[in-house]
Chain A
Amino acid sequence: MAILTKEEAKKIIDKVLAFSKADEISASLSGNRTGNIRYARNSVSTSGETYDLSLSVTAVYGKKSGTATINEFDDASLEKTVRRAEEIAKLAPDNPEYVPMLGAQQYVNTNAFAQSTAGIDPEYRAKAAFGSIEPCSKKNLTAAGYMEDRSGFTALGNNKGLFAYNKSTSVDFSVTVRTADGTGSGFVQRDYNDASKLNTNTATEIAMQKALASVNAKALEPGKYTVILEPTAAHDLILNMMRNMDGRSADEGRSFLGKKGGQTRLGEKLLDERVTIYSDPANPEVPGSPFANDGRPQEKVTWFEKGVVKNMYFSRFWAEKKGVKAIPSPDGIVFQGGSESLADLIKSTEKGILVTRFWYIRTVDPQTLLYTGLTRDGTFYIENGQIKYPVKNFRFNESPVIMLNNVEAIGKPVRTNGSLIPPLKIRDFTFTSLSDAV
Chain B
Amino acid sequence: MQMSGLGLGAVMLPQVPIMGNPVAEGQLLDPWFDAATKKKLAETALNAARDKGATYTDVRIGRYLQQYLFTRERQVQNIINAESYGIGIRVIANGTWGFSATSDVTPDGIAKCAATAVAIAKANSKFQKEPVVLAEQKGVGDKTWKTPLTKNAFEIPVREKIDLLMKVNGAAMDNGANFVTSNLFFVNEQKYFASTDGSFIDQDVHRIWPTFTVTVTDKASGKFKTRDAISSPMGMGYEYLDGLATEKIAGPNGMVGYRNSYDMVEDAIMAAKQAREKVTAKSVEPGKYDLVLDPNHLGLTIHESVGHPTELDRVLGYEANYAGTSFATLDKWKTKNFNYGSKLVNIVADKTQPHTLGAVGYDDEGVPCKEWDIIKDGILVNYQAIRDQVQILGEKESHGCCYADDWSSVQFQRMPNISLKPGTEKRSVLDMIKGVEKGIYIVGRGSYSIDQQRYNFQFGGQVFYEIKNGEIAGMLEDVAYQSNTQEFWNSCVQLCDKDDYRTFGSFFDGKGQPAQISAVSHGSSTTRFNGVNVINTGRKI
Contacts and interface: CB of A to CB of B under 8 A. Distances in A.
Contacts of A126: 127
Given A97-B75, A126-B127, A367-B224, A374 B541 contact: no
Contact of A259 (B11, B222, B325, B456): B222
A223 interface: no
Contact of A365 (B217, B514, B539): B539
Interface in B197-226: 215, 217, 219-224, 226
Nearest to B537: A364
Contacts of B226: 254, 366
Interface residues of A, number: 85
- For the complex of A and B, list the 7 residue pairs with the smallest distance between their C-beta atoms, beginning with the closest: A144-B320, A435-B456, A437-B453, A437-B451, A260-B222, A144-B321, A253-B217
A363 interface: yes
Contacts of A259: 222
Nearest to B24: A88
Given A36-B514, A262-B219, A434 B456 contact: yes
A43 B129 contact: yes
Interface string A162-186: 0000000000001110100010000
A26 to B, nearest CB: 14
Interface string A361-384: 111111111101110100000000
A258 B219 CA distance: 10
A260 B220 contact: yes
Nearest to B219: A262
Contacts of B287: none
A420 B480 CA distance: 33
A261 interface: yes
A95 interface: yes
A402 to B, nearest CB: 6
A360 B449 contact: yes
Contact of B11 (A87, A246, A370, A397): A246
A11 B22 CA distance: 23
A40 interface: yes
B11 A144 contact: no
B541 A368 contact: yes
28 contacts: A40-B317, A42-B129, A43-B127, A47-B124, A48-B120, A70-B21, A92-B79, A93-B79, A95-B76, A144-B321, A252-B178, A253-B178, A254-B226, A258-B222, A259-B222, A261-B219, A261-B222, A362-B5, A368-B539, A368-B540, A374-B451, A376-B451, A397-B537, A435-B455, A436-B484, A437-B327, A437-B452, A437-B455
A23 to B, nearest CB: 19
Interface in A141-162: 142, 144-146, 148
Contacts of A359: 324, 451-452
A274 interface: no
Given A43-B128, A254-B215, A395-B482, A376 B318 contact: no
B31 interface: no
B224 A362 contact: no
Contact of A436 (B23, B320, B448, B453): B453
Contact of A142 (B79, B317, B484): B317
Contacts of A436: 327, 453, 455-456, 484
B478 A365 contact: yes
A249 B322 CA distance: 32
Contact of B22 (A41, A68, A176, A253): A68
Interface string A251-269: 0111110111110000000
Interface in B1-35: 1, 5, 11-12, 21-25
B321 A174 contact: yes
B405 to A, nearest CB: 15
Given A178-B317, A397-B480, 20 more contacts: A38-B513, A40-B319, A68-B23, A88-B22, A93-B79, A93-B162, A95-B76, A144-B319, A252-B179, A252-B217, A253-B222, A260-B219, A362-B5, A364-B460, A368-B540, A395-B449, A399-B541, A401-B541, A402-B541, A432-B482
B293 to A, nearest CB: 18
A71 B102 CA distance: 13
B455 A47 contact: no
Interface in B421-451: 447-451
B65 to A, nearest CB: 15
B393 interface: no
A323 interface: no
B410 interface: yes
Interface string B451-484: 1111110101000000000000000001010101
Contacts of A438: 453
Interface string A107-122: 0000000000000001
B196 to A, nearest CB: 21
A40 B318 contact: yes
Contact of A433 (B79, B320, B325, B456): B456
A144 B325 CA distance: 11
B538 interface: yes
A48 B516 CA distance: 15
A437 B456 contact: yes
A387 interface: no
Nearest to B286: A432
B158 to A, nearest CB: 9
Contacts of B452: 359-360, 374, 376, 437
B317 A41 contact: yes
B73 to A, nearest CB: 10
Given A254-B179, A436-B453, A40 B128 contact: no
B160 interface: no
A69 interface: yes
A255 B12 CA distance: 11
Given A43-B127, A367-B224, A144 B482 contact: no
Interface on chain B toward A: helix, strand, loop, or mixed SS?
A: loop
A15 to B, nearest CB: 19
A258 B224 contact: yes
A45 interface: yes
A372 B480 contact: yes
Contact of B123 (A122, A142, A401): A122
Contacts of A258: 217, 222, 224
B99 interface: yes
A319 to B, nearest CB: 15
Contacts of A42: 129
A317 B219 CA distance: 23
A44 to B, nearest CB: 4
Contacts of A362: 5, 447-449
Interface in B487-535: 513-514, 533, 535
Nearest to A176: B321
A148 B319 CA distance: 16
Contacts of A363: 447
Contacts of B514: 36, 148
A76 B162 CA distance: 34
A144 B323 CA distance: 11
Nearest to B322: A146
A432 B184 CA distance: 37
Nearest to A236: B1
A127 to B, nearest CB: 11
A363 B458 CA distance: 11
A46 interface: yes
B124 A395 contact: no
A365 B537 contact: yes
A369 B539 CA distance: 9
A432 B535 CA distance: 9
A401 B541 CA distance: 7
Contact of B539 (A176, A253, A370): A370
A87 B24 contact: yes
B244 interface: no
Contacts of B223: 367
Given A146-B322, A249-B11, A252-B179, A361 B449 contact: yes
Interface string B115-155: 00000100110011110000000000000000000000000
Interface string A420-438: 0000000000001111111
A91 interface: yes
